[in-house]
């Protein structure tokens, strides 16, 4: 019988299961500081989620602004439809909103510069164009 030349006291039975190098030439195995590793992981996770939350907040702000603008378009459209008009508005045509002395609104096809001496309104409010969804694009008079 051939005897193993390696001293059995210096050989591991299951070297793959050991938590340290089992021979002098083995790779150096250093224990990991789990607290440090977890700390880095938590920091990275917080930074990433903070970035994603900020992106969602920006999207929410944009949506809220769009909703506000849409609500304003509806309010202006209702005011224009409540105004006195002697014609049926046509899509993509430009009209002008004036205010009478009594505070009521009038929708007219005549621009402010086209009235001459027959201008009979207390003030010019806005230039409006009817959009395809029957709301109005409004360009307010800057001299109000």
pLDDT value at position 4?
A: 65
> What is the residue-averaged pLDDT of the chain?
84
Task: Give 36's pLDDT tier (boundaries 50, 70, 90).
Answer: confident
Report whether pLDDT(144) > 60: no
Report whether pLDDT(89) > 60: yes
Report whether pLDDT(141) > 80: no
pTM over 0.85: no
Query: Do residues 112 and 124 touch, judged by C-beta distance below 8 A?
Result: yes
Report whether pLDDT(19) > 60: yes
d(CA 50, CA 99): 50
Q: What are the boundaries of each domain within the chain?
A: 34-140
d(CA 92, CA 134): 10
């Amino acid at each position: 019988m051939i005897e193993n030349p390696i001293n059995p006291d210096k050989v591991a039975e299951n070297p793959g299961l050991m938590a340290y190098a089992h021979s002098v030439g083995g790779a150096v195995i250093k224990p990991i500081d789990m607290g440090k590793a977890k700390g880095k992981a938590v920091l990275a996770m917080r930074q990433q989620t903070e970035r994603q939350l900020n992106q969602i907040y920006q999207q929410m702000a944009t949506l809220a602004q769009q909703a506000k603008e849409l609500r304003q378009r509806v309010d202006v459209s209702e005011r224009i439809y409540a105004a006195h008009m002697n014609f049926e508005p046509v899509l993509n045509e430009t009209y002008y909103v004036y205010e009478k002395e009594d505070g009521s609104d009038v929708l007219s096809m005549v621009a402010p510069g086209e009235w001459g001496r027959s201008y009979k309104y207390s003030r010019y409010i806005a230039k409006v164009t009817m959009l395809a969804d029957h709301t109005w694009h409004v360009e307010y008079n800057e001299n109000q």
